[in-house]
Amino acid sequence: MCGIVGYLGHRRALPVLLNGLKRLEYRGYDSAGIAVPTEDGLYIAKRAGTVAQLEALLAGVELPATSGIGHTRWATHGEPLDRNAHPHTDASGRIAIVHNGIIENYSTLKAKLREDGYTFRSDTDTEVLAVFIGALYEQYGDLELAVRTALSEVQGTFGIVILCADQPDTLIAARRGSPIVIGIGDGEYIVASDATAIVEYTRSVFYLTDDEMAIITREGCQTKTIDDIPTSVQLLELEFDLERIEKGGFPHFMLKEIYEQPQTFLDACRGRLLPHEGNVKLGGLRSVEPQLRRARRLILTGCGTSWHAALVGEYWIEELARLPVEVEYASEFRYRNPVLFPEDIVIAISQSGETADTLAAVREAKLRGATVLGIVNVVGSSIARETHAGVYIHAGPEIGVASTKAFTSQLAVLMLLALYLGRMRHLSAAQAQDIAAEIRRLPEKIQYILDHAEHIRQIARQYAQARNFLYLGRGVNFPIALEGALKLKEIAYIHAEGYPAAEMKHGPIALIDENMPVVVIAPRDELYEKVLSNIEEIRARHGQIIAIANEGDTELPHVANHIITIPHTLPLLTPVLTVIPLQLLAYFIAVERGLNVDMPRNLAKSVTVE
């Protein structure tokens, strides 16, 4: 993986391909390349490094072709070297392929192809697929048949686009487990792994489903299964425009997205929260309302930041709906033979809706007869299509690799879900009205924290060179400690651990000395006095204490080295506010360290391989 773009239309392909690759840079990558047809065959340029370096390599090259493919690669098989960059070609050099995913049986295929006399120039699984398709094309003389035959024998995941010098006015795209979206413009088609590469040219798109392929020519686009059964597509209108994927005057996408959170949180609640009625309207769950009413247990599953959101959701749903909740790592869910009952509801949480591990958990839960719901950001994504029902978070495109606004939008939807389930069960209208009224006030309270970000920047400067951080929280803010530590690891490359504050004395306390910054989330709630005791333990060992506290707190300033204040809210809702300073702290520390905040090393925005 990581980014795919293909073009067939009336424009010169090269500028479209390079522009699309730039739009996909945010997903994380280590090499880039393009292939376009010429009179003499395929012109291929690729190299390890950035799209800008690829562009420099192409400076002065005149390529009039109006079709082509491009790719940004995040290494899976083989180091980030020029020879491992995409596109890869078959033995003849007439067929080029770009590929996201992993071909699991590539070594078996490679051994067989070597027996037949084929050689390989790269360390990748993708080249094996290219050579395999080429061998079948040589045998059949039919490119589409060769692709279908090869893909029927492939094990693993793929999102691919294929270009052949013999048919320069044709692109073939296919997917299994790795997203492919096709934009339909005025006499042109743009194929990509992400709609951000398309929206500049058209907002009319459709997504391929698993084991579906598209044959795109100048006469039109035909879709069918890999087994040659014609399919129909559902055209969608992209919900965002070009402005939403520009920086808008901010130095980084991540900072822009942090500052968008008052609006995105509001958008997640808009039309759903009915504060005067003390109720919630979730139209996407209407079809499964009977199952939700008789549910005996909820299982929330996700990866990374989405898993942290699920942990917060566990506290909320159990408190308001009195319904047992379990939270599972999606990456472990299907491998541990989970026990599921017909009354269970599994809820998959994913920003992209394409996270491979989470999608696998969805399929396993459906196979075992559970009702499966999705909480995702991307309309038309795989999880949105494959779950029985769900709720979109409406955060808009999130370009920064480290998730910020998607996390708080996930929290918004999980709180709405908790209220929705609570009103079905034990929560009174008066209690729900109080909570709903406070949810409505959260965007302005997020804005207050953002308006005082300079203080957090000053703290970040003091600790930018620290080698380790400890994050502590209790109750509903324990998952926020995990999320704060993750943000610091992701973008500042500092080792950080999140812990329940009471667990500190069961091991991590051995690490605390005058060089250890400890971030303590300490809002004024029912556990406040307990957290104060934990802070005293840190102070006795000379740890550097950065406390997240409510405005007007008169005790913490006497025991903490630094105070970052947040407005008062209901204790249950504090995670929506306490996470904002931790996002800013990680961001400012990364900037102080001179790091590329939007594209942290080794990370991809959407992890579409296991």
Q: Which two tokens stand for residue 315?
A: 């506290």
Q: Which residue, 194, 156, 187, is CA-closest to 377?
A: 194
Q: DSSP of 505-560, one letter per residue?
A: GGTGGGG-STT-EEEEE--SSTTHHHHHHHHHHHHHTT-EEEEEEETT-SSGGGT-
Q: Which two tokens stand for residue 100?
A: 């996201």
Residue 605 falls in the annotated catalytic set: yes
Q: Which two tokens stand for residue 214?
A: 């598209």
Distance (Å) of CA 397 to CA 160, 238, 369, 403, 609: 23, 10, 33, 11, 21
Residue of 256, 405, 489, 605 marked active site: 605
CB 523 within 8 A of CB 576: no
CA distance 130 to 270: 47
Distance (Å) of CA 578 to CA 271, 418, 495, 564: 25, 19, 21, 9
Q: Give Cβ neighbours of residue 268 (< 8 Å, ≥ 6 apart).
A: 393, 394, 395, 409, 412, 413, 416
Q: Which two tokens stand for residue 8?
A: 């067939």
First CA to last CA distance, the chain: 11
Strands 344-350 and 297-302 come out as: parallel
Q: Pick left, alpha or beta for residue 394 (phi over 0 → left; psi -120 to 50 → alpha; otherwise beta).
A: left
CA distance 349 to 258: 20
Distance (Å) of CA 202 to CA 144, 194, 206, 264: 27, 13, 11, 24
Residue of 2, 164, 269, 303 marked active site: 2
Q: Which residues are designated catalytic?
A: 2, 605
